[in-house]
Amino acid sequence: MSEPDTDTQPQAPDATPPDYLSGNKTAWQEKAADYIDAAEAAWDSDQPYWGVFGIPDTHTHLLPEDMSGMHCIELGCGTAYVSAWMRRRGATVVALDPTPNQLTTARRLQQQHGLDIEIIEGFAESVPLPNASFDFAISEYGAALWSDPYLWIPEAARLLKPGGQLVLLTNSALMMMCAPDYESEGPVGEQLLRPYFDMHRIQWPDCPGQTEFHLNHGDWISLFTANQLVVERLVELRVPPGAETRYPWADKDWGNQWPLEEAWVVRKAVA
Ligand SMILES: C[S@@+](CC[C@H](N)C(=O)[O-])C[C@H]1O[C@@H](n2cnc3c(N)ncnc32)[C@H](O)[C@@H]1O
């Protein structure tokens, strides 16, 4: 898909131009092979779980138990296991991601599990679908981390029906202040290493060509409000005792005391 036409996008004054799209897509083309094993396990699971420690949805309640009759979209689906969980709960599902190698895994597992999910190659900044199409939109570390929120949140709001829900899960604002610049420096620590204000766009020095996006809580709330999205919950994920992760930056003892990850649950206002 071509880059989004920013002239037609609802754009906040401080949105960055989407110059980061191809760098992130190239990076994910290379990372995709490392996500196959996790994808197989997640597709095999009947129970949803979230984030870098696989915290069960029984702790967080991010997905409705019964999604029958709901039309849902996953923005930055990667290998699309969240889409599989939503389909199994009765929803019809569109799974969108820009990275062909991720979608190759998604399509293979979709066939293997016999689930009819519509898989689309594209960016969350510009989704080729009509306004007010969906009852539920979700992003777990997809658009939520790799897409400028000042571009993709207006697009998610446009796609939702009035009363529709958006859930996004990403690194916590607190974690972003405490993570060292280089992964080789060790996991997240107990010192504030970077400012809370003006987070927005982050390029890690050991990940050249990649751009992440993070907002502090006040900026998330202002952005939701500007897009008629009403905050229902901020779920700060707590790492349960005994949980394990393959991500070296994520310290389980730290994550049992402070939130490493957070999920916003917001709902499109009914006019
Ligand atoms: C970590 S995966 C998310 C999928 C899955 N939930 C997971 O945690 O493994 C990140 C995904 O974001 C996708 N992505 C990168 N830029 C994006 C963009 N602008 N819009 C939507 N998705 C994007 C990547 O292609 C990648 O598949």
> Which atom number of ligand 1 is nearest to the Cα of residue 147?
19
Ligand 1 centroid to Cα of residue 271, in Å, is 31
In a domain, 5, yes or no: no
Q: What is the pLDDT of residues 31-85, one digit of tens each?
A: 999 999 999 999 999 999 999 999 999 999 999 999 999 999 999 999 999 999 9
pLDDT of residue 79: 98
Count the domains in the chain.
1
In a domain, 53, yes or no: no
pLDDT of residue 2: 42
In a domain, 48, yes or no: no
Pocket of ligand 1 contains residue 123 by CB under 6 Å? yes
Pocket of ligand 1 contains residue 219 by CB under 6 Å? no
In a domain, 13, yes or no: no
In a domain, 9, yes or no: no
| Average pLDDT for 197-226 | 96
Ligand 1 centroid to Cα of residue 15, in Å, is 19
d(CA 159, CA 1) in angstroms, rounded, equals 18
The band of 4, judged by pLDDT with boundaries at 50, 70 and 90, is very low
The band of 271, judged by pLDDT with boundaries at 50, 70 and 90, is confident
Q: What is the pLDDT of residues 241-263, one digit of tens each?
A: 989 999 989 999 999 999 999 99
Q: Residue type for 264, please?
A: W
> Which atom number of ligand 1 is nearest to the Cα of residue 39?
9
Nearest residue by C-alpha to atom 1 in ligand 1: 141
Q: Answer whether residue 5 shows pLDDT above 80.
A: no
Task: Find the CATH number of the domain harbouring 153.
Answer: 3.40.50.150
Nearest residue by C-alpha to atom 25 in ligand 1: 99
Residue 72 has φ and ψ, to the nearest 5°, of: -125, 150
Q: What is the pLDDT of residues 213-225, one digit of tens each?
A: 999 999 999 999 9
Q: Answer whether residue 12 shows pLDDT above 80.
A: no
Residue 21 has φ and ψ, to the nearest 5°, of: -60, -50
Nearest residue by C-alpha to atom 5 in ligand 1: 78
pLDDT of residue 14: 64
Pocket of ligand 1 contains residue 43 by CB under 6 Å? no
In a domain, 50, yes or no: no
In a domain, 92, yes or no: yes
Residue 192 has φ and ψ, to the nearest 5°, of: -80, 115
Pocket of ligand 1 contains residue 28 by CB under 6 Å? yes
Pocket of ligand 1 contains residue 140 by CB under 6 Å? yes
Q: What is the pLDDT of residues 89-127, one digit of tens each?
A: 999 999 999 999 999 999 999 999 999 999 999 999 999
The band of 1, judged by pLDDT with boundaries at 50, 70 and 90, is very low
pLDDT of residue 258: 98
Pocket of ligand 1 contains residue 143 by CB under 6 Å? yes
Q: Answer whether residue 199 shows pLDDT above 60.
A: yes
Structural domain range at position 99 = 18-42+65-268
Pairing of strands 92-97, 71-75: parallel
Q: What is the pLDDT of residues 129-184, one digit of tens each?
A: 999 999 999 999 999 999 999 999 999 999 999 999 999 999 999 999 999 999 99
d(CA 80, CA 118) in angstroms, rounded, equals 10
In a domain, 174, yes or no: yes
| Cα-based distances in Å from 147 to 22, 43, 105, 187, 231 | 11, 24, 21, 24, 20
CA 243 to chain centre: 21
